Amino acid sequence: MAPSKASVLSVLVSMVIFLSTNVEAREFMVGGKENSWEVPSSPSQLNQWAQSNRFKVGDVLIFKYDKNADSVLEATKEDYESCNTMKPLKEYKDGETKLNLERSGPYYFISGTWGHCQNGQKLEVVVMSEKHRSKGITSAPTEAPAPVPHTGNSAAGLRDGFWIVMVGLGSLIVGQLMA
């Protein structure tokens, strides 16, 4: 028994919704270059970089640093502002920390090394809400570098896979309609 037109259309719509929500994820090298998670030359340098980018739910931040000399602490707003390293929300010490931005709103990160946060090694990232995402807001070019392509980036693969699936499902629908 051949699938009905309604069931084929239902599968197609489900695939489009699922794949379109995952296609846009990007990876951002914190600071725009390798090993930027360090005391910056200007106290506001890391936040200027963050403000020049548009972060969306599903994007990934990559912190690269010397794991023997530093760490990344996810902090509350209060601990971020006071550089308090005593009670982090999360702590990372692997030297190449990849953090998935799972929700909209602000994220706060500080260095776990004493004195680094006070000297500007701290980062506030604001992730756009889903409402903004659907409006197609893109970042305007600024002095800061664009997201650094990363060899493990799955977004390009998802985008290519999306179109392969769309062509396949389109062929299936046309075949069903012709039958």
Report the amino acid identity of residue 119: N
29, 46 in Cβ contact below 8 A?
no
SS3 assignment for 23-88: CCCCEEEHHHCCCCCCCCCCCCHHHHHHHCCCECCCCEEEEECCCCCCCEEEECHHHHHHCCCCCC
Take residue 60 and report the two structure tokens written for it.
């990934």
Query: What's the pLDDT at 138?
Result: 46
| Residues in contact with 143: Cβ distance below 8 Å, sequence separation at least 6, in sequence order | 48, 52
**What is the distance of C-alpha 26 from the center of its chain?**
5
Query: Mean pLDDT in runs of 10 for the chain (179 residues)?
Result: 59 53 79 91 95 96 96 98 98 97 97 97 94 48 44 49 61 64
Query: What's the pLDDT at 178?
Result: 63
pTM: predicted TM-score of the whole model, two decimal places: 0.64
Query: What's the pLDDT at 132?
Result: 55
To the question of domain 26-148 being in CATH 3.30.70.1150, the answer is no
Query: What's the pLDDT at 152?
Result: 46
